[in-house]
Amino acid sequence: MCRGGNAATSRSSDEDAVAPRIRKAEVGEASLTDASESLNLGVTCLALPHSKSDYTQGRANGGVRITGSLRLKQDPNIPAQCIIGIQGTWYDTTKFAAHHPGGDILYEFHHLDATAQFLAYHDSQLLKKRIKLPKRGTYQFDAKAPGGSTLQAAWMDLNEKFEREGRYTTPISFLWSRVAILVIAFAGVFSFIHLYNATKSYGAFVVAATCMAALWQQSGFLMHDTMHNHIFHDSKKDHILGFLFGNVLLGASGQWWRDEHNEHHVFTNTVVAGVGPADPQMVEDVWIQDKLLIPFSIDAVRDFVLEYQQYYFVPMLVVVGLLPVRVDAIVHTGRYVTDICGLALHITWVGGLLWLLPTVMERVIFYALSNCIAGCLGIQLLVSHHAKKWAEKEDIKEVGAWAEHQIAAVIDITCPTWLDWFHGGLHIHSVHHLFPRMCRCHYREVYDDILSMCEKHGSPVDQSGWIETIARCVQKLSTIKDSAKGINGRKKTKVA
């Protein structure tokens, strides 16, 4: 199979794997080969790999490793190239790839059509007005039904409609309204701690801890907004706010989170067969939420996890709260100067509030209680995906698969409009995954369009209440053990 040495594949048979994907991409094996020869693209010819040794971790902009991501290693004997297809035109992104804000994820689509991924994350006029990339030929692209998918075509039309309507701009009033919530939460912590000191009322103590949890929770949502460039739609400006809301207020590196989150959005709920999970934000060693993840579980704990995970899933999320996010951010990030500064500022302001309490024990209990209450954030971030099926990474890179997979991988949590602030907009997850450039302040406005589009094209949006969605996650966890018979796990190893 002729490919750039970078995109992961996951089929068991070489010939059976290649033919369907090339046909669906509407490129054709002959035309791709001819284009490669005539344009002297230097395509790396590799056999389809099936072991971890063929893969390495992806790199964010600046060269920092993205833990949990998977990239097919490049052939060192052939110059690295990155030729990507967008709406029927091949673009040479080889020189640009090193400067791509989204990191080396571009290499996943070498000699593949990336129209959907490009339109989902970029202004449709980007290549015409701001970035000039060398063109390297054309290929057949059916805009009326990419890969035979009418849903994908409808998604593209809706994306254009939203651009015309200004849905990818955000009123500054939205930012101020979210900041007001943070101010109220901070004032609540300060006020109720003083009330507790004056009255020794346990009620005041719990309310103060709840306000602290709300402050962290809402800061996390704002980190999510800004690291998606949802406020100013300018990465430099948004990432400054991301540092404030993430590193300083939440206590987790916003940039580290963003690097992994890019992988999560493009390869939601996916694995590379024989190698590992390709979605770094939806995998933990302490539970196995899909049968495709069983081969990558740890031998020493797999049987225990499969037997009991449905019982400890929710309690664990509540008890550990935000600690795993904070610890992971410290352990895995490579941006040490900014992250250490942000962590120092976080410890300073949190420590200052804790110091208002008279004893060490009260400070410890207060922090632990706040952390547990904030565990609701962990539940919110996981339940929209954990009850859904996983797919193989290569399958979702097929032309026409983008919109269908995004809908198949999410659950929308129903709630009244006045509770939108509590969920941070992430309860309307279908909109967020289909249109990741759009700020949550527009989700309710466009939701009917999304529901209508998906229903019309045979991929209805999965909706359920918050408690029901959690129950569905627990129910699915309880059934995974039935699929585990005869499947070996893994030892605790890492991809190089």
In this structure, what CATH number is given to the domain that contains residue 115?
A: 3.10.120.10
Within-domain flag for 353: no
Q: Domain of residue 69: give its range.
A: 14-141
Is the residue at 102 inside a domain? yes
Distance CA 462, CA 459 (A): 9
Give the model's pLDDT for residue 128: 81
Instruction: Flag whether 57 is in a domain.
Output: yes
The burial class, CB within 10 Å (0-12 / 13-18 / 19+), for 30 is exposed
The structure's pTM equals 0.87
- Report residue 305 as tokens: 């996890």
Predicted pLDDT at 36: 41
Residues 6+ positions from 338 with CB-CB distance below 8 Å: 243, 247, 255
Where in 81-210 does DSSP place strands (E)?
A: 83-86, 89-92, 135-138
In a domain, 482, yes or no: no
Name the DSSP letter for residue 102: T
Give 278-285 contacts, CB < 8 A, sequence gap 24+. 278/8, 278/69, 278/70, 278/393, 279/68, 280/66, 280/67, 280/68, 280/69, 281/68, 282/382, 282/385, 282/386, 283/68, 285/492
**Is residue 30 domain-resident?**
yes
Residue in this structure with the two tokens 């800061």, named with its chain if needed: 219
The answer to whether residue 227 sits within a structural domain is: no
Q: Is residue 32 part of a domain?
A: yes
Q: What local confidence, expressed as pLDDT, does residue 423 receive? A: 92
Show the tokens assigned to 432.
Answer: 């967020």
Contact between 484 and 291 under an 8 Å Cβ cutoff? The reply is yes
Q: What is the pLDDT of residue 298?
A: 87
Determine, yes or no, domain membership for 74.
yes
What SS3 class is residue 238?
A: helix
Overall number of domains in the chain? 1
Give CA 102 to chain center in angstroms: 12
Q: What is the DSSP letter of 45?
A: B
Mean pLDDT by 10 residues, the chain (496 residues): 34 32 36 40 44 85 83 80 94 90 92 95 85 91 94 97 96 97 97 97 97 96 96 95 96 91 95 92 93 90 94 93 83 76 94 97 97 85 91 93 96 94 93 97 97 97 95 96 71 51
Q: What pLDDT sits at residue 50?
A: 58
